[in-house]
């Protein structure tokens, strides 16, 4: 029985370690750094619930939106596809715009491109300078291409959140995320609380500021098309902290990179 427990523990540790192995693509000298707001969608992922956050106590009350939002539960999809456009598409404002059917095909080509790295060739999007201006002009077309909420619900790394996150693991994760951003590859990060799920969300880290006491990651929050969010890592506490938003009062969260590695 002791051998079984030991073997099982080693197997679980191996699975978690394999899943955490980062796969940062080789740098591309022609790739510009990820920019906000140019490289994000002009529209946002709407929350299903209306949140009433008390900033003094941190308590949250919520109720369903009425009417229900038309475009929601797609935070993982927006974060992923924003990175795919950044990595695997090239906007060319000097080429004449094309018809809606052609744009729909080009958008689908980007969505079908590598989700975890750079594709050999980029999809050229004519007539626009960046994703923000393109998605503002063709919001309905882009939203149709982004499919339904199931892509966020079925993200293959979601299983990881139910396992413990030790402080040393979060320390190592913070360093991996810092290194990825420094290498020019913006990681997609699952931030959450568990088992009491008051936050279960995906954001895209694209810049980092370092101090002796913390790492301050700037992130694209799919729930907010107007401004980036700050997710900080406290070196002493070895813990991540999510800024206050209309849907979360702010505070400690767990975090790990998604759309990366064999299992995530």
Residue pair 219/36 in contact (Cβ under 8 Å)? The answer is: no
- For tokens 């995530």, name the residue: 264
**Residue 226: Cβ within 10 Å count:** 10
| pLDDT given at position 151 | 57
Question: What is the rounded average pLDDT for all residues in the chain?
Answer: 87
Gap between the Cα atoms of 200 and 2, Å rounded:
36
Structure tokens at 13: 């540790």
Q: Give 217-247 pLDDT, tens digit per residue.
A: 999 999 999 999 999 999 999 999 999 998 9
Q: What is the pLDDT of residues 12-69, one digit of tens each?
A: 444 444 444 556 887 787 899 999 999 999 999 998 867 677 767 767 766 677 678 8
Radius of gyration of the chain (CA): 19
Kindly report the number of other CB atoms within 10 A of residue 234's CB atom.
Answer: 15
| Residues 27/200, Cβ–Cβ less than 8 Å | no
Q: What percent of the chain has a predicted confidence (pLDDT) above 70?
A: 84
């Amino acid at each position: 029985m002791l051998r079984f427990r030991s073997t099982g523990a080693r197997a679980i540790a191996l699975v978690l370690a394999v899943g955490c192995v980062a796969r940062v693509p080789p740098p591309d000298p022609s790739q510009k750094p990820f920019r906000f707001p140019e490289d994000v969608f002009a529209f946002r992922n709407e929350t299903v619930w209306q949140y009433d956050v008390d900033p003094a106590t941190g308590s949250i009350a919520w109720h369903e939106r009425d009417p229900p939002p038309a475009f929601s539960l797609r935070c993982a999809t927006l974060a992923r596809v924003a990175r795919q456009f950044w990595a695997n598409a090239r906007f060319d404002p000097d080429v004449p715009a094309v018809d809606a059917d052609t744009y729909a095909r080009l958008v689908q080509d980007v969505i079908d491109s590598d989700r975890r790295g750079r594709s050999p060739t980029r999809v050229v999007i004519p007539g626009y300078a960046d994703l923000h201006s393109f998605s503002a002009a063709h919001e309905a077309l882009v939203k149709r291409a982004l499919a339904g909420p199931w892509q966020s619900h079925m993200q293959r790394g979601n299983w990881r959140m139910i396992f413990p996150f030790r402080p040393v693991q979060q320390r190592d994760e913070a360093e991996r995320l810092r290194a990825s951003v420094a290498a020019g590859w913006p990681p997609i990060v699952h931030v959450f609380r568990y088992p009491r799920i008051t936050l279960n969300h995906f954001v895209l880290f694209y810049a980092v500021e370092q101090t002796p006491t913390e790492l301050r990651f700037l992130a694209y929050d799919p729930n907010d098309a107007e401004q980036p969010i700050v997710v900080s890592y406290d070196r002493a506490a070895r813990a991540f902290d999510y800024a206050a938003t209309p849907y979360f009062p702010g505070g400690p969260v767990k975090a790990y990179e998604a759309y990366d590695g064999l299992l995530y």
